[in-house]
Each structure stands twice: as structure tokens, then as C-alpha cells.
Amino acid sequence: MARIDFQTDPSRYRHWKLQFDGPVAHLIMDVDPAGGLFEGYELKLNSYDLGVDIELADAVQRLRFEHPEVGAVVLRSGKENVFCAGANIRMLAGASHGHKVNFCKFTNETRCAIEDATENSGQTWICAISGPAAGGGYELALATDRILLIDDRRSSVALPETPLLAVLPGTGGLTRVTDKRRVRRDLADLFCSTEEGVRGRRAVEWRLVDEAVPPSAWEARLRERALEAAARSDRPRDARGVALTPLARRFEEGGVFYGHVALEFDRGAGRAILTVAAPPGPPPATLEAARDAAFWPLQMARELDDAILHLRLNEPELGLLVLRTQGEAAHVLAHDAFLEAHGGDWFIREVRLHLKRVLKRLDMTSRSLIALAEPGSCFAGTLAELAFAADRSAMLIGARAGDNRPAATLRLSALNFGAYPMANGLTRLQARFWGEKESLARAEARIGEPIGAEEAETLGLVTFALDETDWDDELRIMLEERASFSPDALTAMEANLRFVGPETMETRIFGRLTAWQNWIFQRPNAVGERGALRLYGSGVQPSYDKQRV
């Protein structure tokens, strides 16, 4: 299968158009039917595949960084008779199971980014539904802050997956309907069991949309709502945006290499090694000088994001991800201090929010994560989050014989204690020390100080502290053992253990997605020879195994 690339830009979009009207942007979905990522299906009726979502994710990101003047985004269709028919059914029927699951995960991460923009970036998203919005099309609308539906007797919202396809609205649809829109359970049950969906006033009464607007007032109402949202924004209308220039990447048989990130493959061992480098020097002297795509926290985050996505979609058999860092801790901590000192600036806010989302993407990646701290490593501040995201971590005591690099230390910054919450709303250290307030306080008291291996183990910041005598053998045993386990069991185990404490809408969405999609997308009722996905549109009724399990 050809490599899937997650890098694009507006000049290469085939499915989306961006238009700007002062503080309001219009993101127009106009899917090219012939623009599918793979052969064998047409993207009719604004249906989408991963390629459409890759462009959407890029647009969401560029609106945040390149257009500080935009305080509201109107999401709408560029086709007259349909808003969006959802995920393309032929694509789903023909795709591998792994592709379907990763497609659903990426799709929902993009929708979470839309919600994050509304909640934290002062860039409110509004959806304008004209024509049917079915399945994933309505799920896309659910990610916005306000939904307007034209009341023209043909425009509707629907989640018809269960009656039509023997699957379900698995990219957040069911959860957002009940948790976000507060739709009553019995009404939600009726809605999700009805092929034709709901229109007009009833859609408003059931809280499926916010307004049903007559055609005569449609454009005026949209503009009014968008300008109202933009007026509430704190984004600076006169600021210079930061162009997200293309990432410099080198693809080789043995890995993918960026400026600050390297992703190396050990196919024989079934693992990948991800190394993130500290910045080469201190942060820029001024805030204005930092406003550039080459600013280390931003470039590193973009490279790390691309590496994680490449691993997910293009290297499915590398189930173990070893996390390493290298460089000067002082430079990372200086950049962290810069991010902390200028947190009120719109650009620095976006950088921090992007780092948060990338680290969440790592949390949600179905790979075993093992962090290794050795001489020359740099698990400091923001980079220490990689160790805290890991399922296990090991740290070498002292230096190796003949190695003139100093012994590994771990150093914390203020950003480890609030800047990068997980999907459950907790920091990784809060999750690590769930129910141990004293342990969290002891760690926070050590901000900025170098913490050696044995003390890091005592403080609970790493899993193991090993001396040179044991290091190589213990690591070999641990990594080989991990690679020998069932990938299915590990995926389920890790997903359960990574998110302690309170549930949020986001953890419910991803937890349910993991369970639903890994089960339903493999059941014959959906994907068998006589399953609903394969027979959809053929006129032949699917044949279901009626056992409830």
C-alpha cells in the first residue's frame, strides 16, 4: 500500500475551500468525487475518506496559526443538495480493519481540535447545514459550537448507521448527542434508529440543532451569528499570522528523519525508536522573533505529530515505541519558561495548545510506549511529558564506562503541572499519582532541579532505575517480552490503564471508539460477505447473525 502522507496545504486541497470575510472564515466542503485516497470508490454526495480529513485537519491548524484575525469559522457545504453524507461506505467496506480504526481515530482527533479551537483559542466554529447531514456529516456538525439548519423541507440531520449499515456513529456521534447536545435518551434512541433523520422545528426541539432558519433569512442569519461570535473573540485582528511552512523530512527504509525528531525502525524486533532533540540553543530574545514556524516548540510538535501519524497508518506491525530524548535540558527549560512567561500572547497560546494536542495523540496511539533515559538524554520540562506518557520508563544510574556524557537526569518545569492535560482533564503527573497528593507535591517541589535515576525512582517519576551492569540485559528482556504479547490484549490493556480518574466526553468517545470499532468492524453482520456494509446500495438485504452477545 502506498505511504499515506499527512502533510498538505491549501494549494493542494481537492476537497475544501477557504474564504475570508474580515473576522469570519468560511470553510467550504466540496469533495471531489474522483479524489479518493484509494481506488475502488467515488466520494459522492460530499462523503469523505481519510484524505478529506487530512485536508480538514490542515485547515483547522492553519486557521489557528495563520489567521489570528479570524474569530469565527463557518463550516458549510459547497454542493447545492447535500451537506455531507458521512464516511464513504465503499471505502469502509473495502478498507482493512486497521485502516478503518485509525481513520475513525484521526477523524475524531480532528473534531476534538475544532472543539479545542472554540473553547481555548477564541475561534468559534459554527455549522451551516443545507441539505441532508447524515452519519459522519452530522457528527462533523456536532463538533462545532452552534448548528444552524435551513428549514426548507429537505435539509435534515441523521445518524442512520445502525438501521442501514449494522455499525454505529463511532466518531463521537452518540456521545456528543447525549453529552454535548443533551438530547434526551429516548429521543436519541429514536433518532439513531431512524433512516430519514429529523428536520426543521423538531430538530430544534430535540436539541439536535440550535436554529432552524427559513431560506429567506438564511445568509443574513449566518452572517449575524458569525459576527456575534467573532465579536466575543480575544484574537488580535491586526496581528501577523505565522505561516506553517512545509516540514523538512527524509524518508528512508530505516525510518523518517526530521529536524528535531527521528523515527527509526527495527522491523526484526517489531519496534520503532522515536528520538526527540532539545533545542540547539536558548529561546529567541523577543516575542516577535519567536513568531515563526521554526520556533522550536512549534516545529518539534509538528514533527512529532507527523511521526506519530506516520507510525499509526504506515507501520502497523511496529507495536512497540521506544521513546528517547537528547540534548541540553537547560535549553528546554528556557523554552518552557518563555512559553510560561508569554502565555497570554495569541501565538504562544496556540503553540502550547498544539503541544497539548500532540501529546494527547501520543496517549491515544495503540502502541506500547517505553521511555529510556540514558546519558545524553533530555527528559526535561515539556520533553519529560514523553516519559510520563509512557507505559513504563527506565533510567540508567550514573554514566557508562568510556562515555564522557553526564549521567541522565530528569528535570521538571511549571508546564508539567497544568499546561498539557490528557483527555481526562488531568496532567500526566496527576494521572501518575492518582490518589497520591503527597507524591505530586514532592515532585512539584523539585521544579528546575536535576533529579538523578535513583531519586527519580524513589519519587515515582520513572519505573526502574538500573545500573550499567543490569541495563542492557534488563532492557532486552523487557522489550522482547513486550513484543511477544498479543497486540490485541496490549491495545486493550494500555487503553484501560492510561486514563485513570474522572471520565470526560473525550475519554468516553475514544474509549467507546476503541471498543466499538475493534469489535463491530470485524463482525460478519457489518463486513461479512452478506454484511450490511458490503451489500449497501445493492438492493439485497443483509443477512444477520441474530445472536446477542
403 and 300, same domain (yes or no): yes
**Between the CA of residue 204 and those of 183, 209, 373, what are the distances in Å?**
10, 5, 55
Domain that includes residue 192, residue range:
10-231
The pLDDT tens digits of the residues spanning 40-55 come to: 999 999 999 999 999 9
283 and 403, same domain (yes or no): yes
* The pLDDT of residue 111: 97
The Cα–Cα gap between 531 and 548 comes to: 16
The domain boundary residue, chosen from 174, 199, 231: 231
Q: Read off the pLDDT of each residue in 386-412 and give the average, rounded to a whole number.
A: 94
Which DSSP string corresponds to 465-480? EE-HHHHHHHHHHHHH
**Residue 235 near residue 24 (C-beta atoms within 8 A):** no
177 and 307, same domain (yes or no): no
Q: Read off the pLDDT of each residue in 297-318 and give the average, rounded to a whole number.
A: 97
The pLDDT tens digits of the residues spanning 161-194 come to: 888 878 888 778 899 999 999 999 999 999 999 9
Is 267 in a helix, a strand, or coil? helix
The Cα–Cα gap between 63 and 452 comes to: 42
Which grid coordinates belong to 538?
445493492
pTM for the full predicted model: 0.95
Is residue 547 in some structural domain? no
Compare 448 and 92 and report the one with higher pLDDT.
448
Name every residue whose Cβ is closer than 8 Å to that of residue 201 and which is 6 or more positions away in sequence: 151, 212
Q: How many residues does the chain have?
A: 549
Residue 1: pLDDT band with limits 50, 70, 90: low
Q: Read off the pLDDT of each residue in 211-237 and give the average, rounded to a whole number.
A: 98
Nearest CA to 48 out of 33, 68, 63 is that of: 33
225 and 257, same domain (yes or no): no
17 and 118, same domain (yes or no): yes
Beta strands in 68-151 (DSSP E): 72-77, 124-129, 133-134, 146-150
The Cα–Cα gap between 197 and 132 comes to: 9
What is the CATH classification number for the domain harbouring 163?
3.90.226.10
The domain boundary residue, chosen from 479, 497, 515: 497
Is residue 415 in some structural domain? yes
Is residue 238 in some structural domain? no
Phi-psi region of 358 (alpha: psi -120 to 50; beta: other; left: phi over 0): alpha
Which grid coordinates belong to 307?
511521526
The Cα–Cα gap between 476 and 285 comes to: 44
346 and 481, same domain (yes or no): yes
Alpha helices in 232-286 (DSSP H): none
190 and 266, same domain (yes or no): no
Q: Is the pLDDT of residue 515 over 80?
A: no
199 and 337, same domain (yes or no): no
The pLDDT tens digits of the residues spanning 237-292 come to: 999 999 999 999 999 999 999 999 999 999 999 999 999 999 999 999 999 999 99
Q: How many domains does the chain have?
A: 2
Is residue 4 in some structural domain? no
Give the count of beta carbons closer than 10 Å to the beta carbon of residue 44. 13
Mean pLDDT of all residues belonging to the chain: 95
The domain boundary residue, chosen from 497, 518, 540: 497
The pLDDT tens digits of the residues spanning 121-162 come to: 999 999 999 999 999 999 999 999 999 999 998 999 999 988
Q: Is the pLDDT of residue 231 over 90?
A: yes
121 and 16, same domain (yes or no): yes
Is residue 419 in some structural domain? yes
266 and 205, same domain (yes or no): no
The Cα–Cα gap between 244 and 298 comes to: 9
181 and 256, same domain (yes or no): no
The Cα–Cα gap between 266 and 254 comes to: 8
Name every residue whose Cβ is closer than 8 Å to that of residue 524 and which is 6 or more positions away in sequence: 530, 531, 545
The pLDDT tens digits of the residues spanning 405-416 come to: 989 999 999 999
Where b means 16+ CB within 10 Å and e means fewer, 193-206 reads eeeebbbbeebbeb
The Cα–Cα gap between 68 and 56 comes to: 18
